[in-house]
Structure 1
Amino acid sequence: MSTISSRFQKIQFRNFSSAATIDGIPVTFIISKLHQLGPVYLDDKSTSFAELYVNGIERPFWVHKEWLILQSSFFQNIFETIKTNNSIIRITVPSPENFESLLEFLYDGDSDKLYDTLTQDNYYSVWKNIEYLGLGPEIRAICIAFYQNQVDST
């Protein structure tokens, strides 16, 4: 992970397109590889970059810069100001009760698992978090599919 981290520190990811590359490697390919590794690193204190506290959630999350900056404009902005490991980050999101499933998706990319967490009652709250965190088109597509299949059809 340290090689990837050092490359990320040199590159600014604002508004990257699907054609964006890091050292000639497409960002979408890097994200797919991170998703393969994600279940091992999800909430792993020993390898984390920072300790994340979300207002409204009692426990901290141990997060890795690599997963978050490529998939969230919100976290891109946060990590621009944080340069050292073991930092403590405190954030507020519109719907904290739906944050953990989104974070898990950023690590594992499991569309089916995220889709299964959506309900007609929480859909709008999840969407507000997605917008607030500036998450990418893949996660938005999952929510749109849920809306079309479950919400709009009623």
Structure 2
Amino acid sequence: MRFSTIIPLALAAAPAVVSAAGNLGFALGDKKSDGSCKFQADWAADFKAISTVQTSKIVRTYSASECNTAKEILPAAKAAGFKVILGVWPDYDESLAKDEAALVKYTPDYKDQVYAITVGSETMYRGNFTGPELLQRINKIKKAV
């Protein structure tokens, strides 16, 4: 693609990006750089860092149970005024059950902090499940929470 084509395309897309400001968020891992799990203070530090450079107050995680993410992130999100998209890893019955248990245990006290719950962020395009199989897992989580 030529440079003269890229500039007009970027300028044409700019209003869409600007209009989405505040609705965009950050995907955050549940581990620190040394591989250890994050705790509430670590999530609070993440929120503080995000707040210094962005107005967005939405973050996404990939598993509610791994590293006790729901337990650790939700109080920090409440204190910082953030909302969280909690992930559920449905690929294995064990991970699905652990994430479901974490959601059931920790989300009732933090309903205002839970922006959404995702079930299977990549399972469809990887071919792990058919649509109906994933829908069954989504409905299981929906019923639980």
Q: TM-score, normalised by structure 2?
A: 0.31
Higher-Rg structure is 2
Q: TM-score, normalised by structure 1?
A: 0.30
